[in-house]
């Protein structure tokens, strides 16, 4: 069958340079991406999986709080991604969240965020480079541990917000040395994983490519199920 099609949400400001890296990673592991964003068509019926990309902070209004710190927000993107993430989780569509995307997954599941992660975790120093400078520990017996192994990994975590209250059905999959959550995942199938770092820039690292491979494997399985279903539409078939 053809490569599974993955919808990729991006920032209207930086998506033009981020999407090629994400699509490269997908292509290396057997998938292909289509760029989504505010003002661009986004149809979950046309894809087999989804990636919620990184970018601006998420408005605290999405999880019932008010803005307490200075942040660069994108309300149109918030609305689009919150709707897509909520629907994807409800419809069991495989999802990978990257940085902001991990946070959006948690919010879509009913969780909340620390608006200023560095004030909550003062021992976790901010990082401003895409080089892998932060060490994270993978939690035992998690999906992430089966995908990338249990060895500590160096990642490029650039975020300023972090997971606070876990969403329903989510668990912590990795933390840094200060205890800050660096990855979350759905407790049960299907695939839903969020990482606070940017694996798309670490395509040379086998363990980071494995995150995209896991998504593509789950998306391919969903595509095969759709092909076998009598309810598959011509439009869905054309997109596979």
Q: Each residue of 148-192: pLDDT tens digit?
A: 999 999 999 888 899 999 999 999 999 999 999 999 999 998 899
Query: What is the per-residue pLDDT for 240?
Result: 44
Closest CA to 163 of 142, 188, 139, 180: 180
- Helix (H), strand (E) at residue 131: none
- SS3 (DSSP) at 185: strand
Closest CA to 62 of 53, 54, 52, 73: 73
pTM greater than 0.85 (yes/no): yes
pLDDT in tens, 79-106: 999 999 999 999 999 999 999 999 999 9
Between CA 75 and CA 101, with CA 193 as vertex, the angle to 5 degrees is 15
Closest CA to 146 of 183, 180, 92, 100: 183
Catalytic residues: 99, 198, 200
Instruction: Report whether 142 contacts 185 (CB < 8 A).
Output: yes
Instruction: Report whether 210 contacts 153 (CB < 8 A).
Output: no
Q: Which residues pair with 98 in a beta bridge?
A: 195
Closest CA to 72 of 62, 82, 57, 54: 57
Give the separation between CA 216 and CA 51, rounded to whole angstroms.
Answer: 11
Compute CA 172 distance to the chain's CA centroid, rounded to the nearest angstrom: 14
Please determine, for residue 135, whether its predicted confidence score (pLDDT) is greater than 80. Answer: yes
Query: What is the per-residue pLDDT for 237?
Result: 43
Go through the domains of the chain in sequence order and give each one's CATH number: 5-239 (3.40.50.880)
């Amino acid at each position: 069958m053809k490569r599974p099609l993955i919808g990729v949400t991006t920032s209207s400001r930086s998506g033009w340079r981020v999407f090629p890296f994400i699509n490269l990673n997908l292509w290396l592991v057997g998938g292909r991406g289509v760029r989504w964003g505010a003002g661009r068509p986004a149809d979950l019926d046309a894809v087999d999986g989804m990636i919620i990309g990184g970018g601006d902070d998420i408005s605290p209004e999405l999880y019932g709080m008010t803005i307490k710190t200075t942040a660069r927000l994108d309300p149109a993107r918030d609305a689009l991604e919150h709707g897509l993430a909520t629907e994807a989780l409800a419809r069991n569509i495989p999802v990978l969240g990257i940085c902001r995307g991990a946070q959006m997954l948690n919010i879509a599941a009913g969780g909340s965020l620390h608006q200023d992660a560095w004030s909550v975790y003062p021992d976790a120093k901010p990082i401003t480079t895409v080089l892998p400078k932060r060490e994270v520990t993978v939690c035992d017996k998690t999906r992430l541990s089966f995908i990338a192994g249990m060895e500590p990994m160096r990642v490029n975590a650039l975020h300023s917000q972090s997971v606070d209250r876990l969403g329903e059905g989510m668990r912590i999959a990795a933390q840094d040395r200060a205890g800050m959550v660096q990855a979350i995942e759905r407790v049960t199938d299907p695939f839903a994983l969020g990482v606070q770092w940017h694996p798309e820039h670490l395509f040379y690292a086998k363990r980071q490519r494995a995150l995209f491979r896991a998504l593509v494997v789950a998306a391919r399985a969903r595509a095969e199920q759709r092909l076998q279903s009598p309810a598959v539409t011509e439009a869905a078939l054309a997109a596979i």
